[in-house]
């Protein structure tokens, strides 16, 4: 497995992982119609725009195995005003076929190293409330809930999320 920076050529692979991971991980946590309507083509177009933007405020890395994208992570500086100076893990997903194979571990370890190298002493992420599999994964890697909550308003749904934090230094 290789962990490397994402390129615009990875947009489709990232989109496939993004959609399939959401459809599996969030089943029962959000309306099934939302999950059924996710479009790989729409996500690919979005990722192509993101990856082509040289001024984007985040970095995206991929885990590539046997020539295919098995997972990805995006991270950068904190987007939340109450966490100045912190790093943020914006998103991390592995294809369901790659769950429990070390892909997530390799990605989160690479993210932590990159955030540390960028001078961040702490980092945070948001996890969908009820997503116990993800929360357990983060906790095994030293991230802990600090009790903060937020509601992410998206078309047709509200995502209730819990913040997890870690020390990087």
Instruction: Report mean pLDDT in 10-residue bins for the chain, 169 residues.
Output: 96 98 96 94 96 88 96 94 87 97 98 96 96 97 96 88 94
pLDDT score, position 100: 95
Which pairs with CB-CB distance under 8 Å and at least 24 residues apart come from 155-160? 156/31, 156/34, 157/30, 157/31, 157/34, 159/30, 159/128, 160/128, 160/129
Please give the torsion angle defined by the CA atoms of residues 21, 100, 106 and 127, in that order, rounded to the nearest 10 degrees. 50
pLDDT score, position 82: 77
Number of compact structural domains in the chain:
1
**Separation between Cα atoms, residue 162 and residue 105, nearest integer Å:** 20
pLDDT score, position 133: 95
pLDDT score, position 38: 95
pLDDT score, position 56: 82
pLDDT score, position 169: 77
pLDDT score, position 155: 81
Structural domain harbouring 25:
2-167
Please give the torsion angle defined by the CA atoms of residues 21, 12, 152 and 105, in that order, rounded to the nearest 10 degrees. 50
* Phi, psi for residue 106 in degrees, rounded to 5: -65, -40
Q: pTM for this one?
A: 0.94
**Separation between Cα atoms, residue 13 and residue 32, nearest integer Å:** 23
Instruction: Give CA separation, 114 vs 11, 42, 92, 118, 129, in Å.
Output: 21, 29, 14, 6, 27
Beta bridge partners of 145: 164
**Separation between Cα atoms, residue 76 and residue 151, nearest integer Å:** 21
* Phi, psi for residue 12 in degrees, rounded to 5: -65, -45
- CATH number for the domain spanning 153: value is 3.40.630.30
**Residue in 43, 1, 11, 18 with CA at minimum distance from that of residue 95:** 18
């Amino acid at each position: 497995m290789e962990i490397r920076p994402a390129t615009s050529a990875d947009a489709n692979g990232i989109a496939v992982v993004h959609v399939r991971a959401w459809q599996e991980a969030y089943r029962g946590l959000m309306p099934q119609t939302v999950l059924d309507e996710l479009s790989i083509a729409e996500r690919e177009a979005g990722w192509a725009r993101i990856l082509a933007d040289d001024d984007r405020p985040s970095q995206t890395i991929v885990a590539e195995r046997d020539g295919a994208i098995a997972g990805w992570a995006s991270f950068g500086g904190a987007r939340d005003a109450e966490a100045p100076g912190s790093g943020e893990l914006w998103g991390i997903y592995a294809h369901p076929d790659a769950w429990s194979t070390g892909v997530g571990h390799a990605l989160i370890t690479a993210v932590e190293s990159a955030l540390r190298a960028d001078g961040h002493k702490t980092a945070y992420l948001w996890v969908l409330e009820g997503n116990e599999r993800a929360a357990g994964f983060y906790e095994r890697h030293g991230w802990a809930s600090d009790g903060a909550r937020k509601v992410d308003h998206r078309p047709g749904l509200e995502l209730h999320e819990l913040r997890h934090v870690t020390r990087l230094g």
